[in-house]
Chains A and B, each alone.
Chain A
Amino acid sequence: MGTAPEPVRRLPTGVRPLDAALNGGVPRGRISELIGPLSSGKTSLVLTLLATTIRCGEVVACIDLAHALHPASLALAGTDLQRLLWVRPPTATAAMRCTELLLQAGGFAAVVLDLGASLPHPRRSQVWPRLLRAAEQSHTALIIVAPHRLAGSFAGLSLSLQRRSPLWRCGLWALFDGFETAVVVMRNKLGAPGKSTVIRARESCLSTEPPFTLARTTHEHDSR
């Protein structure tokens, strides 16, 4: 008689409809992909996931090949930035090596590999089985953020974010308020693929006041 398989632990994304579609969130010990073009909300979604994970007391890492992490965006979500390791590798090869090192070190709940538009060379496809094995051993969720799929069949979960429409507040002053995005589960080894949900990345979701966050908050202080 074989033993029952160990249940897969999951990291909640912080968005209830999406967590419901994913049976609880992003699986730990697997490779997950967040793919989509710019302004599709993939950065907003991954930062929300990191903030939710940190709030649970976990330690997370972000390997930022594109040097695109905006600490103020994370801080606005109430994240303890001291629990986030930010690595800015100079090349794609170094990024892969850093990912492997962090997965082997263990202790991280999630490691985000943000490749931006710099995609690894196709010959580096042999890194995915190594990264998957390291993620399995350390029970770390490896999340790849890229414009399109990279890990192929080694990915346990692939979420495609499709841009719908930017949200503008019209009035005396037009204000950009975010955008609406459709999240489609393209591949799911641990559940049913094909599910989709809509999320809204909104600047005003943090506050009931006018959305003077990010760059706009600086105006008042600097004019002293």
Chain B
Amino acid sequence: MRLACLYVPDFPLAALLRVEPDLIGTPVAVADGPGPRAKLKAISADAVRRGVTVDLTTVQAKTIAADLTVRQVSSDTLRAAQAALCDAAESFTPRIEDAGDGVAYLDLEGLGALCESESRLTNVLAQRVTRLGLEAQIGVAGSKVAAYLAACHGGGVTVVPPGEEWHFLAPVPIKLLAPDPELAVTLQRWGIRYIGDLAALPMTAVGTRLGPEGVSLVRRARGEDEHPLVPRSQPLHFEEGVEIEYGIEALEPLLFVLRGLLDRLTARLALRGFICGDLRLSLRLANRGRDEQTIAVAAPSNEVKSLLALVRLQLETHPPIAAIEGVRIAAVAERLRAAQLDLFRPNGPAPARWAITLARLAALCGAERVGAPVVADTHRPDAYGIAPFSASPRHPALSTCHPPNPRTLEPSNPSGAIPLALRAVRPPRAVEVFCERDRPEFVRGDGFAGRVVHAAGPWRVYGEWWSDGRYVRDYYDAQLSDGCVYRLYCDLGARSWFVDGVYD
């Protein structure tokens, strides 16, 4: 069995730099809490060069290096970074184990067909991790322990050839096995400093003197796993989050934060071969409240600009009620389905390009204003619906909606007659109608005024008497003195008149 271990050194710092790439190349430290007495957990190479060490307090470190940036890392940021690491691994194989704290294992069995060698495979893996904003060290060996030690000790990409784990691990310091402090002192007293020395000890003698903990340590030193690789079986969940040190009240700074989150989210989705569907935005507010919003994405897309436009539209229409201290955004992963083109029908829009266009249209107009028209399943004359539009070509025989009507107009009508169409007036416009003997004689309203020259009707339409949407209407077709022919109705429930269309 061949296993690879992805190991991100100084994981809290790496997670921070993934969220704030501007800090790369500057002295940065991650503290374990707020305030000047908080201890540093991880420090960057630039901070080390200035003399800062781990376990100093924030104020001590600031005294040594005045330009040191000290930050805390939220659990959301750590969780997202760990998920990104697992996504990079899962882009190769579903058999991965999430070990937490910047460590993930993946089973390399059967991946030989992907790359010619293990080192080539691990190099591609490292590039994918880098694409997600993390720098990982990778070790490949026959067991989890050996792969982990190879990743920690080797730096970069280290491939331990099969059967040579013993030779590789022999010169590795014991501290990488993270023994119990008391055990470490005992081993140091015995003069055992390297894994090779520990692995050479007889197991029974170690068990007698050091107990089960010593036996476990010797087993690990010999490259034997205590637990086999346990592949994770979690549902697809793509989420990015960040905690903000100061409350954001304006939209533009919030969108700046969201752009970074969407950048990272879409990069993870793209690496797994998905595109971004509906978005769920969760805002932690300064008043201890939480604002949850769902943003419908009409056409799944990984284009950040379009997604950000949708988010902007949503936040402009539903602004949060207080300053924002934390942002989380999750995406529903969708697969971009390839359309089977028809040999005998013209091509529609290209699916990938079309998805972006539809997302942009939805951002411009609102998702509910873009789609295919639908004749609503009701007898209400002004009812209509809108359905998701699919540009994929379909054969006429497969069309489920509105099959060709044998009585319909021929493609080219020799008589010059075409079906009469109605221009809807939405919402129906209230008008004042003067009647004589129950016949409309004069119509007056906003944009409509004139004597009725000719009228036909009424046609009584009623329905939905079983619900609150009950309607009873008398419809008329009326030609006014301006020459236009309108469709009028009298709502018998409200005793008022409306214009709901113009024949055109």
- Chain B residues with Cβ below 8 Å from A18 are 416
With beta carbons under 8 angstroms apart, the residue of B361, B374, B421, B487 that contacts A201 is B421
Residue of A nearest to B426 (CB): A67
A127 at the A/B interface (Cβ < 8 Å)?
A: no
B436 at the A/B interface (Cβ < 8 Å)?
A: no
- Chain A residues with Cβ below 8 Å from B414 are 16
> Within residues 91 to 124 of chain A, which ones have a CB less than 8 A from any CB in chain B?
94, 97-98, 101-102, 104-109, 116
Q: Mark B457-477, 1 if CB is under 8 A from A, else 0.
A: 001111100000000000101
Knowing A44-B504, A88-B365, the reply to whether A59 touches B454 (Cβ < 8 A) is no
- A80 to B475 alpha-carbon distance, docked (Å): 28
- Check B413 against A15 for contact (C-beta < 8 Å): yes
With beta carbons under 8 angstroms apart, the residue of B389, B413, B501 that contacts A16 is B413
- Check B370 against A85 for contact (C-beta < 8 Å): yes
A190 at the A/B interface (Cβ < 8 Å)?
A: no
- Check A81 against B402 for contact (C-beta < 8 Å): yes
- A73 to B418 alpha-carbon distance, docked (Å): 11
- A218 to B460 alpha-carbon distance, docked (Å): 9
- Chain A residues with Cβ below 8 Å from B390 are 82
Knowing A105-B353, A107-B347, A174-B454, the reply to whether A90 touches B424 (Cβ < 8 A) is no
- Check B409 against A166 for contact (C-beta < 8 Å): no
Knowing A15-B413, A70-B422, the reply to whether A86 touches B373 (Cβ < 8 A) is yes
- A146 to B22 alpha-carbon distance, docked (Å): 52
- Check B421 against A44 for contact (C-beta < 8 Å): yes
B202 at the A/B interface (Cβ < 8 Å)?
A: no
> Within residues 52 to 97 of chain A, which ones have a CB less than 8 A from any CB in chain B?
52, 55-59, 66-90, 94, 97
- A87 to B362 alpha-carbon distance, docked (Å): 9
- A182 to B369 alpha-carbon distance, docked (Å): 34
A179 at the A/B interface (Cβ < 8 Å)?
A: yes
- Chain A residues with Cβ below 8 Å from B409 are 14, 48, 51, 77-78, 205-206
Residue of B nearest to A12 (CB): B412
Q: Among the listed stretches B111-119, B175-183, B378-386, which one makes contact with chain A, having 4 or more residues with CB under 8 Å of it?
A: B378-386
Residue of B nearest to A212 (CB): B459
- Check A43 against B421 for contact (C-beta < 8 Å): yes
Residue in B417, B419, B487, B503 with the greatest tally of chain A CB atoms within 10 Å = B419
Q: Among the listed stretches B64-72, B238-246, B318-326, B393-401, which one makes contact with chain A, having 4 or more residues with CB under 8 Å of it?
A: B393-401
Q: Mark B348-362, 1 if CB is under 8 A from A, else 0.
A: 111001100100110
- A218 to B483 alpha-carbon distance, docked (Å): 27
Residue in A67, A74, A197, A218 with the greatest tally of chain B CB atoms within 10 Å = A218
Residue in B345, B413, B423, B461 with the greatest tally of chain A CB atoms within 10 Å = B423
Q: Say how far B148's CB is from chain A's closest CB, in angstroms.
A: 49
- Check B423 against A86 for contact (C-beta < 8 Å): no
Knowing A14-B411, A82-B394, A87-B361, the reply to whether A203 touches B419 (Cβ < 8 A) is yes
- Check B346 against A179 for contact (C-beta < 8 Å): no
User: Chain A's interface: helix, strand, loop or mixed, by majority?
Assistant: mixed
With beta carbons under 8 angstroms apart, the residue of B350, B370, B421 that contacts A47 is B421
- A215 to B490 alpha-carbon distance, docked (Å): 13
> Within residues 175 to 224 of chain A, which ones have a CB less than 8 A from any CB in chain B?
175-179, 197-203, 205-207, 214-216, 218-219, 221-223
- Check A38 against B365 for contact (C-beta < 8 Å): no
Q: Say how far A156's CB is from chain B's closest CB, in angstroms.
A: 21
With beta carbons under 8 angstroms apart, the residue of B346, B375, B399, B477 that contacts A75 is B375
Knowing A77-B409, A78-B408, the reply to whether A219 touches B418 (Cβ < 8 A) is no
A45 at the A/B interface (Cβ < 8 Å)?
A: yes
Residue of B nearest to A217 (CB): B379
User: Which size bracket describes the interface of B in this complex?
Assistant: 35 or more
- Check B379 against A71 for contact (C-beta < 8 Å): no
Q: Say how far A201's CB is from chain B's closest CB, in angstroms.
A: 5
- Chain B residues with Cβ below 8 Å from A14 are 409, 411-413, 418
How many chain A residues touch the partner (CB < 8 A)? Answer: 90
- Check B364 against A48 for contact (C-beta < 8 Å): no
Residue of A nearest to B381 (CB): A215
- A71 to B365 alpha-carbon distance, docked (Å): 19
- Chain B residues with Cβ below 8 Å from A221 are 379, 463
- Chain A residues with Cβ below 8 Å from B419 are 44, 47-48, 73, 76-77, 201-203, 205-206
Residue of B nearest to A168 (CB): B454
With beta carbons under 8 angstroms apart, the residue of B369, B396, B456, B461 that contacts A87 is B369
- A212 to B479 alpha-carbon distance, docked (Å): 18
Residue of A nearest to B364 (CB): A94
- A77 to B410 alpha-carbon distance, docked (Å): 10
- A202 to B455 alpha-carbon distance, docked (Å): 16
With beta carbons under 8 angstroms apart, the residue of B348, B402, B455, B502 that contacts A79 is B402
Q: Say how far B478's CB is from chain A's closest CB, in angstroms.
A: 9
Knowing A15-B418, A48-B418, the reply to whether A176 touches B346 (Cβ < 8 A) is no
- Check B349 against A105 for contact (C-beta < 8 Å): yes
- Check A81 against B373 for contact (C-beta < 8 Å): yes
Q: Say how far A16's CB is from chain B's closest CB, in angstroms.
A: 5
- A218 to B424 alpha-carbon distance, docked (Å): 17
- Check B460 against A219 for contact (C-beta < 8 Å): yes
Knowing A42-B504, A43-B421, A71-B384, the reply to whether A85 touches B379 (Cβ < 8 A) is no
5 closest A-B pairs (Cβ-Cβ)?
Answer: A107-B349, A78-B408, A57-B345, A176-B477, A71-B373
A-B pairs with beta carbons under 8 Å apart, 16 shown: A38-B484, A43-B422, A57-B393, A58-B346, A76-B408, A90-B365, A90-B366, A94-B365, A105-B350, A105-B353, A109-B346, A200-B417, A207-B407, A216-B459, A221-B379, A222-B463
Known: A80-B402, A105-B349. 14 other contacts (CB 8 A): A39-B485, A41-B504, A71-B373, A75-B402, A76-B405, A88-B369, A90-B369, A102-B361, A105-B354, A174-B455, A200-B415, A200-B418, A205-B420, A218-B380
- Which B positions have Cβ atoms within 8 angstroms of A? 342, 344-350, 353-354, 357, 360-361, 364-366, 369-375, 379-381, 384-387, 389-391, 393-394, 396, 399, 401-402, 404-405, 407-409, 411-426, 454-456, 459-463, 475, 477, 479, 483-485, 487, 501-504
